Amino acid sequence: MKAAAAVTSVDGLVEKDLVDGAAAESLRPVEEAFAVRLTPEVLQQIKALELGDPVFAQYVPQLRELDHWADELDDPIGDDAHEKVKGLVHRYPDRVLLKPTLTCAVYCRFCFRREKVGGGAPGLTEAEMGAALDYIAAHSEIREVILTGGDPLVLSPRRLEAIVARLAAIAHVKLLRFHTRVPLVEPQRISPALLKVLRLHPATRVVIHVNHEAEISPAVAEALAAMVDSGVPVLSQSVLLKGVNDDAATLAALFQRLAALRVSPYYLHHLDKARGTAHFRISLKKGRELMAALRGRISGFALPAYVIDIPGGFGKVPVNADHVLEISPGRYEIADPWGRRHRYSE
Ligand SMILES: *Cc1c(COP(=O)(O)O)cnc(C)c1O
Ligand code: SF4
């Protein structure tokens, strides 16, 4: 039996009836700018072939992605400013991001790294990975390594094992974290071999990226349970997206479902200003109102922190009165973790 294949182009979307032939022509420049990829699992999660479907809207390209605004950035969260060696971002003293690959299992239309991922750029070579690991070994202040990308879980368990084994051998690396969308979009990758890799370092956490309850199919729930059952704590991060999850009932349903699956909601991200994502944007004011509506409505431990990444590489801060001050409608001053203030407008 031939396994169902991923859809990796607008033509593939036409074949599956997700885009019609006429629209396909106008979408060519979009796919040239930003990679397209949907897995068979995602195709099953899509229930209606329209933008009102929360899964469809996250992965099927739209013409509006060609609308670019002056305040949108190629590197909205400023990773580049803190890249110490290739594939390694050291912004906070105690934590680093390690990006072994720039490939993902799917390409989200609102991705904050959309200029970098999916271009077919190869991941780190052996030598580059060696240099990144040497940097970590040489910096004893690094307590946590966060594997991200791209999506680190698209790598084979064998390649991951080589990386994790080396990290586990560095005494000062006390914590390991994976940021991934794979359990949601390709749950069959959560295999016994992968679970073994996740247990190699004694304090490994997995942070899944999930934005709507519709993404949690039975196969996904099973993959999440397999991780939790094997002793790996699973947390979640979500992005607040207009038309996908920007109402309190939808968010409450998502966070409660995650909690019931023993996944801890960690962050709700305000959307970063990546190019061609304005149609997904809601205001900070609306985001705050949604969070206020959730408080008191769901278990405290099921409520993530609402955070914003300050453009330019100044860090993530909670969207609360301590950090985000409205100066006039739509204009803000945001204090970074070091107390410096930055202008922000919408
Ligand atoms: C988000 C991020 C981290 C992790 O931050 P936590 O608040 O610990 O989840 C680390 N480094 C960089 C550069 C980040 O953007
Ligand atoms: S899986 Fe993550 S990195 Fe990859 S496209 Fe989606 S948001 Fe971007």
What would the pLDDT profile of 256-309 be if each residue is shown by its tens digit?
Answer: 999 999 999 999 999 999 999 999 999 999 999 999 999 989 999 999 999 999
Residue 227 and residue 258: Cα distance in Å, rounded? 13
DSSP 40-68: HHHHHH--SSSTTSTTHHHHS--GGGG--
Question: In this structure, which residue's CA is closest to atom 8 in ligand 2?
Answer: 111
Distance of CA 18 from the midpoint of ligand 1 (Å): 35
Residue 128 and residue 283: Cα distance in Å, rounded? 40
Provide the 3-class DSSP secondary structure of residue 312: coil
Which helix (H) or strand (E) segment holds residue 268: the answer is: strand 263-269
Q: Over 50: is that where the pLDDT of 1 sits?
A: no
**Percentage above 90 pLDDT, the chain:** 93
Task: Establish whether the linkage from the previous residue to 12 is cis, with ω within 30° of 0.
Answer: no
Instruction: Supply the CATH number for residue 252's domain.
Output: 3.20.20.70
Which of 299-330 are b and which e, b meaning 16 or more Cβ less than 10 Å from the residue's Cβ? eeebbbbbbbbbbebbbbbebeeebbeeeeee
Per-residue tokens: 97? 């991001």
Which pLDDT does position 4 carry in this prediction? 84
Active site residue 316: yes
DSSP label of 272: P
Active site residue 104: yes
The answer to whether 109 touches 65, Cβ cutoff 8 Å, is yes
For the CA of 105, the closest atom of ligand 2 is 1
Which pLDDT does position 132 carry in this prediction? 98
239 and 268 co-located in one domain: yes
pLDDT in tens, 71-127: 999 899 888 999 999 999 999 999 999 999 999 999 999 999 999 999 888 899 999
Q: Output the ligand 2 site: residues, CB below 6 A.
A: 104, 106-108, 111, 113, 117, 150-151, 181, 209
- The CA angle 81-82-84, to the nearest 5 degrees, is 120
Q: How many residues does the chain have?
A: 346
Residue 284 and residue 289: Cα distance in Å, rounded? 9
280 and 236 co-located in one domain: yes
34 and 109 co-located in one domain: no
Which pLDDT does position 134 carry in this prediction? 98
Whether 4 is covered by a domain: the verdict is no
pLDDT category, 3, cuts 50, 70, 90?
low
Per-residue tokens: 33? 């700018």
pLDDT in tens, 175-215: 999 999 999 999 999 999 999 999 999 999 999 999 999 99
137 and 60 co-located in one domain: no
Whether 75 is covered by a domain: the verdict is no
| Number of domains comprising the chain | 2
Distance of CA 296 from the midpoint of ligand 2 (Å): 31
Distance of CA 54 from the midpoint of ligand 1 (Å): 27
The answer to whether 307 touches 268, Cβ cutoff 8 Å, is yes
Nearest-CA neighbor of 147 among 74, 226, 200?
200
Which pLDDT does position 122 carry in this prediction? 84
For the CA of 107, the closest atom of ligand 2 is 5
Whether 73 is covered by a domain: the verdict is no
103 and 51 co-located in one domain: no
Nearest ligand (C-alpha, residue 241): 2
**Span 15-29, average pLDDT:** 95
Nearest ligand (C-alpha, residue 109): 2
DSSP label of 154: G
The answer to whether 271 touches 284, Cβ cutoff 8 Å, is no
57 and 108 co-located in one domain: no
Provide the 3-class DSSP secondary structure of residue 318: strand
Whether 336 is covered by a domain: the verdict is no
198 and 50 co-located in one domain: no
Task: Establish whether the linkage from the previous residue to 330 is cis, with ω within 30° of 0.
Answer: no
Q: Is the CB of 201 under 6 A from ligand 1?
A: no
Q: Over 80: is that where the pLDDT of 143 sits?
A: yes
Whether 3 is covered by a domain: the verdict is no
Active site residue 189: no
Residue 90 and residue 342: Cα distance in Å, rounded? 21
145 and 222 co-located in one domain: yes
Which residue bears the tokens 């070994």? 137
CA distances to 27, 33, 67, 106, 109 from 13, in Å: 11, 17, 21, 13, 14
Prediction pTM value: 0.97
In DSSP terms, 335 is beta-bridged to 341
Mean per-residue pLDDT over the chain, rounded? 96
Q: Over 80: is that where the pLDDT of 2 sits?
A: no
CA distances to 25, 209, 252, 290, 321 from 326, in Å: 43, 29, 26, 17, 9
233 and 285 co-located in one domain: yes
Whether 340 is covered by a domain: the verdict is no
Whether 281 is covered by a domain: the verdict is yes
Whether 334 is covered by a domain: the verdict is no
Q: Over 70: is that where the pLDDT of 23 sits?
A: yes
39 and 187 co-located in one domain: no
Which residue range forms the structural domain that includes residue 51? 10-66
170 and 121 co-located in one domain: yes
